[in-house]
């Protein structure tokens, strides 16, 4: 059993100079007067091209752009109050929040994000088998202690038996560091018949037998943590959601098993 602490990670288009535009008078007519009469067939396309070059004033007079501003000013209002900002202020009468705000909001606790001594991070609790392959894992915020999820790690990650039958959930022995040293957790293992190789703290009065040779086998889980950190997406969390980060950890575990 072990833990990995990961720290979440945190275009500019350049445009060239605009083309110089000639005056309106030089491009008033796309087709010269002497060539207009010599065209055969319909000249509808030519008139469409010519109409696109009409001045803005003609468009304003035909469609009545700005007429409501003059009416308001003529009714006794001030022209200074009838600027474009006032009538266009409520143009979008069906305004609503952006699409990114419509989803379900979550809190840092749900997304396994928290602040510890190392900063804003996520803690990955792993449980490995004897050969150093990942069995199960849990995600917690960075400030969460290892012992808080120790029992939950033991309740998941069943292994299928070779001879058939129900999958095996309880191992014969587990090995963990001092972070899993707790009287409650030791009682939990004793009631289920699971032996443990967990060193006691220096300030504990009660001492018991401790097999250092078996504790050296714990290097398997340390090697697993080292292999997991080789995946950059696991060592540095890029996903915002905890479920997406858990999916990446699962893919990495499958890769290591294969």
Quote the mean pLDDT of the chain: 76
CA 158/CA 225 separation, integer angstroms: 20
Q: Give the residue-averaged pLDDT of 177-182.
A: 89
Given pLDDT bands bounded at 50, 70 and 90, which one contains residue 79?
very low
Q: Exposed, middle or buried: residue 193 (CB in 10 Å: 0-12, 13-18, 19+)?
A: exposed
pLDDT of 32: 55
CB atoms within 10 A of CB 176: 23
pLDDT of 104: 65
Is the pLDDT at 12 greater than 50? The verdict is no
More confident residue, 253 or 93: 253
What 8-state DSSP symbol labels residue 168?
B
Quick one: which of 142, 106, 107, 108 has its CA closest to 125?
142
Domains and their CATH numbers in the chain: 2-8+108-163+171-203+211-257 (3.30.420.10)
Contact by Cβ (8 Å): 239, 248: yes
Q: Give the residue-averaged pLDDT of 122-147.
A: 92
Q: Provide the β-strand partners of residue 124.
A: 4, 139
Given pLDDT bands bounded at 50, 70 and 90, which one contains residue 200?
confident
Residue identified by tokens 């602490």 is 5
CB atoms within 10 A of CB 62: 9
Given pLDDT bands bounded at 50, 70 and 90, which one contains residue 165?
confident
Q: Measured in Å, how far apart are the chain's first and last C-alpha atoms?
A: 21
Given pLDDT bands bounded at 50, 70 and 90, which one contains residue 20?
very low
pLDDT of 34: 55
Q: How far is CA 232 from the centre of its chain?
A: 15
Is the pLDDT at 162 greater than 90? The verdict is no
CA 46/CA 114 separation, integer angstroms: 67
CA 83/CA 77 separation, integer angstroms: 11
Q: Give the residue-averaged pLDDT of 147-157.
A: 92
pLDDT of 11: 44
Is the pLDDT at 46 greater than 90? The verdict is no
CA 212/CA 216 separation, integer angstroms: 6
Is the pLDDT at 65 greater than 80? The verdict is no
Is the pLDDT at 51 greater than 80? The verdict is no
């Amino acid at each position: 059993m072990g833990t990995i602490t990961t720290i979440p990670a945190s275009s500019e288009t350049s445009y060239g100079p605009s083309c110089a535009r000639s005056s309106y008078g030089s491009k008033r007519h796309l087709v010269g007067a002497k060539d207009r009469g010599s065209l055969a067939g319909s000249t509808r396309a030519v008139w469409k091209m010519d109409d696109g070059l009409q001045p803005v004033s003609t468009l304003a007079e035909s469609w009545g752009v700005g007429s409501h501003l003059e009416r308001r000013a003529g009714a006794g209002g001030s022209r200074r109050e009838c600027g474009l900002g006032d009538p266009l202020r409520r143009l979008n009468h069906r305004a609503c929040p952006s699409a990114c705000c419509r989803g379900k909001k979550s809190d840092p606790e749900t997304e396994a994000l928290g602040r510890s001594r190392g900063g804003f991070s996520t803690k990955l609790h792993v449980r490995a088998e004897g050969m150093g392959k990942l069995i199960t894992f849990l995600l917690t915020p960075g400030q969460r202690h290892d012992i808080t999820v120790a029992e939950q790690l033991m309740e998941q990650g069943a292994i299928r038996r070779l001879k058939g039958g129900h999958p095996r959930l309880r191992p014969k022995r587990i090995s963990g560091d001092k972070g899993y040293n707790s009287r409650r957790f030791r009682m939990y293992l004793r009631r289920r018949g699971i032996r443990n190789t967990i060193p006691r703290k220096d300030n504990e009065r009660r001492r018991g037998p401790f097999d250092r040779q078996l504790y050296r086998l714990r290097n398997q889980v340390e090697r697993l943590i080292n292999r997991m950190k080789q995946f950059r997406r696991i060592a540095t969390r890029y996903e915002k959601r905890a479920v997406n980060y858990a999916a990446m950890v699962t893919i990495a575990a499958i890769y290591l098993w294969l």
